[in-house]
A = this chain, B = another copy of it.
């Protein structure tokens, strides 16, 4: 894939790697050490950094260097870029801040960095970013904790928010394939990354947190092309007038009217998220196949969550599937009399793993059903955990194997953590909130529609 030297470099130099645990150069090198022995610290003073032989200059490294992470004080950044160029480095991540985000002078300086880089055939991510990660080869070129391994490539224009989201996803066990903090996007921008990630098999979807796009035309052109094969989900901050004003003072660039962005996203086949959770919920859905239509079957062991989920899918223009008479008849055969066999199918609290299996199988086999949402709240029988319910759904999905997407909604905090892991391992995204699974179902249906056009 393009830009592969950023994500699968053969070797990495860290300019500004540090022994001082209060410095970011300490964290970055510590994280990168996990990548293996082809990570070289560059430090002007110390002989060793964190037990690894250090070099005074990137040019002293007795090995080719694909990727350089620059985290030196601002006044040394320019010379560092020149040194990298002379060394034959391919990609540079500039974490150091104090460039375009502080005004005209900084903008000029970062432009100069890019000119130098391009002269040597190098590309730059940053400056003013928290770094990047590839969870699939455990490369963490950032000062943020390792994200959970997953299927979503997440690109964030805000470094701090991006880091906050990584921490949030660690807590919620939501996985990323790549995390890229793009900083000021002086060189590599959303368009470059979308293009590169289009070919990345580890990324099933691309999620963008956007504050302002500079080259709108190219962004749209690339997005249009990429979204034909891979879903792109965008969260644009500054939707309201207040927010837009706040965004423009933050990024220095005009955030622009949200209506323009909204129209551009729609024209480019980008799915629009209105919150961080919507963005993540949609992006996570794409480990599942695309549905052929908008008819959703819901199965649940409690009425309330079924109703809330019906509300959630309705909000996004999806429909409750009309089940075949035959399906309902067969459900009636083994479900208790108090169960509801009409969609949403309420198997009631007594439902066990076997009921989940049989019900999921019948629903997936029903020709009127395009996708299935399997809900489980905390089972009310003492000693029962929802893991057997998750396993029932998986068994049905594997047996039927007819390419209909299945989404999970397991709503019991710690009690359902294990069940959610079991589902995720089989590629079934497991949500905790009706609105999250609702928008995930929408994302699958919408992207299926986009793909058909």
Contacts and interface: CB of A to CB of B under 8 A. Distances in A.
Contact of A164 (B144, B275, B338, B412): B412
A269 interface: no
Interface stretch (A79-87, A218-226, A340-348, A391-399): A340-348
A311 interface: yes
Interface in A1-56: 21-24, 26-27
A180 interface: no
A250 B340 contact: yes
B305 A164 contact: yes
B411 A161 contact: yes
Interface stretch (A283-291, A312-320, A325-333): A312-320
A229 interface: no
Interface stretch (A167-175, A356-364, A422-430): A167-175
Which residue among A160, A171, A382 has the maximum number of chain B CB atoms within 10 Å of its CB? A160
A349 B304 contact: no
Contacts of A171: 413-414
A311 B235 CA distance: 12
A293 interface: no
Interface string A64-92: 00000000000000000000000000000
Which residue among A209, A412, A416 has the maximum number of chain B CB atoms within 10 Å of its CB? A412
B378 A163 contact: yes
Which range contains the number of A residues in contact with the other chain? Answer: 35 or more
Interface stretch (A117-125, A193-201, A239-247, A442-450): A239-247
A398 B433 CA distance: 36
Contacts of A162: 304
A110 interface: no
A307 B247 contact: yes
A237 interface: yes
Which residue among A159, A245, A250, A277 has the maximum number of chain B CB atoms within 10 Å of its CB? A250
A101 B306 CA distance: 16
Contact of A172 (B211, B307, B413): B413
A261 to B, nearest CB: 13
B169 A380 contact: no
Contacts of A340: 249-250
Which residue among A242, A346, A412 has the maximum number of chain B CB atoms within 10 Å of its CB? A242
A100 to B, nearest CB: 11
Nearest to A130: B380
Contact of A211 (B21, B159, B303): B303
B249 A342 contact: yes
Contacts of A170: 413-414
Given A21-B383, A209-B304, A243-B311, 12 more contacts: A160-B301, A163-B377, A163-B380, A164-B302, A168-B411, A171-B413, A171-B414, A240-B310, A242-B310, A245-B310, A246-B320, A249-B342
Interface of A: 21-24, 26-27, 98, 101-102, 130, 143-144, 156-165, 167-172, 209, 211, 237-243, 245-247, 249-251, 255, 275-277, 298, 301-308, 310-311, 313-315, 319-320, 337-338, 340, 342, 344, 346, 349, 377-378, 380-383, 411-416, 432-435
A-B pairs with the 9 shortest C-beta distances?
A158-B304, A250-B303, A160-B302, A240-B314, A161-B304, A171-B413, A167-B413, A243-B311, A164-B377
